[in-house]
Structure 1
């Protein structure tokens, strides 16, 4: 069981995301025209750090080193008329191995490296990453969206 609830009012949950930067590029996967981070819901009883390592394993088939907690995010948004309210933990992650061409968790989304100096040209989700990644100073930043 994970920390995710679907009600008549929307979807609510606690999530993790892996910020994977290698050679000046951010790892994302493509869903339609959007670029998303590897991540997902935290399971009940699981730490956020363990959850991000599990999600990397499920989505990329790789082990990783979970490093710094970069962002704690309160993310409220409308998706196709449905309210989403997510609490998110975004960690810096180093991969142990080479990424597959697409995600492996039942949704074969194409993996794509986005050059950090070109990030503004992409529809990165969550959108705060476009401005906040470049400003990250090694401390945990609280982001409130919505």
Structure 2
């Protein structure tokens, strides 16, 4: 019998950025390995201790895309309870908008990125119709927030 306690459930604090442009947002499209469901989520990641959410976004986008950003603005905060890969999750998510310093990125259909673990991904520009055909936008409540702010066409 192991004397090591099981890992404690914890709330994760995240910062995500939508980069809205002409009715579209930038999302990473991925599958839940347990269910096979396709999901769409803006880029970003965990907020580190002592780091402001707006600084976390700048760091994450630099790490994932190697791109500088500016005009970072908080759009809202969401609380997300979910199951992913068969495990329960709980996140407090600060949702931001920002601008890429390189305007040519808005003209590309997708942007090549790399996760912290080294795995590659392609971020795509999607509007509401694209998302309806691909899979839900996560975290829950994000699509409604963006619709209410008239940022997602």
Partner of 1:128: 141
- CA offsets 1:76-135 (integer angstroms, 9 cap, x no match): 112233221111111111111227732123221111110245443332222322222111
Unaligned segments of structure 2, at least 5 residues: 1-5, 32-37
Unaligned segments of structure 1, at least 5 residues: 1-6, 139-146
Q: Is contact 1:11–1:82 with CA below 8 Å preserved after alignment?
A: no
Length-normalised TM-score, structure 1: 0.77
Q: In the alignment, is residue 59 of structure 1 matched against residue 64 of structure 2?
A: yes
Length-normalised TM-score, structure 2: 0.74
Larger radius of gyration: 2
Residues 81/29 of structure 1: CA separation in 2 closer, same or farther (3 Å cut): closer
Which of 101, 110, 119 is equivalent to 2:111?
A: 101
- CA offsets 1:19-54 (integer angstroms, 9 cap, x no match): 111222111112132222101011111111101111
Partner of 2:96: 91
Matches of 2:74 and 2:64, distance apart in 1: 20
Matches of 2:30 and 2:10, distance apart in 1: 19
Partner of 2:80: 75
How many positions carry a matched residue from both structures? 132
Using the TM superposition, name which of 117-126 and 77-86 deviates more.
117-126
